[in-house]
Amino acid sequence: MNKSVSEAVIKRLPKYYKHLKELEISGLTKVSSGKLAEMLNITASQVRQDFCNFGGFGQQGYGYDVGRLRTEIANILGLNRTYNMIIIGAGNIGRALASYKGFVNEGFSIMALFDVVTNDKRVTDNIPLYPMEELENYVNNNQVDIAIIATQRESAQEVANRLSELGVTNYWNFAPVELKLDNKCIVENVYLSESLNVLSYRMNNN
Amino acid sequence: MNKSVSEAVIKRLPKYYKHLKELEISGLTKVSSGKLAEMLNITASQVRQDFCNFGGFGQQGYGYDVGRLRTEIANILGLNRTYNMIIIGAGNIGRALASYKGFVNEGFSIMALFDVVTNDKRVTDNIPLYPMEELENYVNNNQVDIAIIATQRESAQEVANRLSELGVTNYWNFAPVELKLDNKCIVENVYLSESLNVLSYRMNNN
DNA sequence: TAGATTGTTAATCGATTAACAATC
DNA sequence: TAGATTGTTAATCGATTAACAATC
């Protein structure tokens, strides 16, 4: 099993998962590597190789059972459990993520928002907004699986350090910096401006 | 010159650019491939190979001139001009992007927001919010370089079709669907839930 | 049984890394 | 001149693709 699954494969897993959910909703119960390949715009070979990394979930001559495959991939992705998340930074992005309903369905719940300024900002939906001073107290008394860093670039590292000392190891980072944390920490970055720059690159080089 | 630059290289360009800006701010005027490699966490060879794709901007025995290199990469990325953007969908993400100040510095300005519901929502900062019926009229009378799709999943494709018919060819898509548009269109996707799923994968497989 | 389609090995392709002559 | 460092070619590594025996 997963002794170093390549980055490329990992990035495709959520795509498989998404398409399998769609297939399941549309009532299909079986799917072939060829069909999945078409949906993801890759080759059937690659689909089979990808699943082979995890043992292979198909049946020769038949294909893959949609429900089974979806469950297997959900397990691989860790979607068979729930995650408590907090957001640091109640600015535009922080509040947008807080009120976005899409994550909860997949087991990711946002428990609290933190910001230096708490007065002029409303609590978003039913999620409480705490001042930064409350961070230590909150984390010590609540399970925090993932911290979402949605602060200004300047304070992101400092906030991550504080969280790291409190034992938080998993970060979804929206600040345009590379967080330097010790090796046991896991950081997944969303660098919006890089994405926008790639778009403008393509606009000028196609 | 750029006869098929690989995806991997393209994705690194914004990172080079970001670090070069930092170097410039910190007052450094020269930088070596080794130094840049260290900043990006790659090898010096790779840095030189990357720049070689575009002709090479260095000087043997010296290194790269920070200002020159930054300008060259800015040109490659198309950052030597401005872009007029509109946002379709004034929900959480749409409004967050509208009020985010970071893009304007790089020449990306948000000119208008569109949504089916315009009454109960305030105009964000100074950006006007129009009803969807105004879309055709607006696009026909204003330069729109990039459309940001921030609608619900369900309406994203339909909105993109409308824009495409109006001649808009460049899309920054935040809806969790793959937009199907003709080949001359350029779509750059930001799939937040895929990023979150990769995070949970790593949390469960490290 | 015949047809379909997997899992997996082998071949190919492309990206990364190493090496080094060129030269500032 | 000697040291540093590029641009670029060659070697290596890893990912994708092709092929096919196994088998449902």
- A171-180 pLDDT per residue, tens: 999 999 999 9
Is residue B118 pLDDT above 90, yes or no?
no
- Give the residue nearest to nucleotide D4 (CA to C1'): B61
Q: What pLDDT, on the 0 to 100 scale, is given for residue A101?
A: 83
Name which of A2-6, A13-17, A145-149 the model is least confident about. A2-6
In percent, the amount of chain B with pLDDT more than 90 equals 89
The pLDDT confidence band at residue A56, using thresholds 50, 70 and 90, is: confident
Contact A193 B11 (CB under 8 A): no
Contact B76 A103 (CB under 8 A): no
Cα(B149)–Cα(B91) distance, integer angstroms: 11
The number of beta carbons lying within 10 Å of the beta carbon of residue B172 is 24
Q: Is B196's Cβ below 8 Å from some Cβ in A?
A: yes
Q: Which of residues 25-84 of A touch strand C (CB under 7 A)?
A: 32-34, 44-45, 48-49, 51-52, 55-64
Minimal CA–CA distance to A189: which of A148, A145, A144, A139? A148
User: To the nearest 5 percent, what fractions of chain A are helix, strand and coil?
Assistant: 45, 20, 35
Q: Give the model confidence (pLDDT) of B176-194 as tens digits.
A: 999 999 999 999 999 999 9
Best of A146, A197, A202 to mutate (most B CBs within 10 Å, chain B): A197
Contact A100 B93 (CB under 8 A): yes
Mean pLDDT of chain A: 94
Cα(A92)–Cα(B72) distance, integer angstroms: 32
Q: Give the model confidence (pLDDT) of A157-193 as tens digits.
A: 999 999 999 999 999 999 999 999 999 999 999 999 9
From A53's Cα to the closest Cα of chain B, the distance in A is 13
Tell me whether strands B64-65 and B83-88 are parallel, antiparallel or unpaired: unpaired
Mean pLDDT of chain B: 94
Which bases of strand C sit closer than 7 A to a protein CB?
3-9, 14-19, 21-24
- Pick from A17, A191, A200: CB nearest B79: A200
Q: What pLDDT, on the 0 to 100 scale, is given for residue A2?
A: 44
Q: Bridge-partner residues for B145, per DSSP?
A: none
From B166's Cα to the closest Cα of chain A, the distance in A is 17
CB A179 within 8 A of CB A156: yes
Give just the sign of the alpha carbon dihedral A52, A58, A59, A62: negative
Q: What pLDDT, on the 0 to 100 scale, is given for residue B3?
A: 59
Edge-to-edge strand order for the sheet containing B170-173? B129-131, B108-115, B83-88, B146-149, B170-173, B186-189
Minimal CA–CA distance to A135: which of A107, A156, A111, A162? A162
B19's tokens: 């670090």
Cα(B87)–Cα(B111) distance, integer angstroms: 8
Mean pLDDT of A89-109: 91
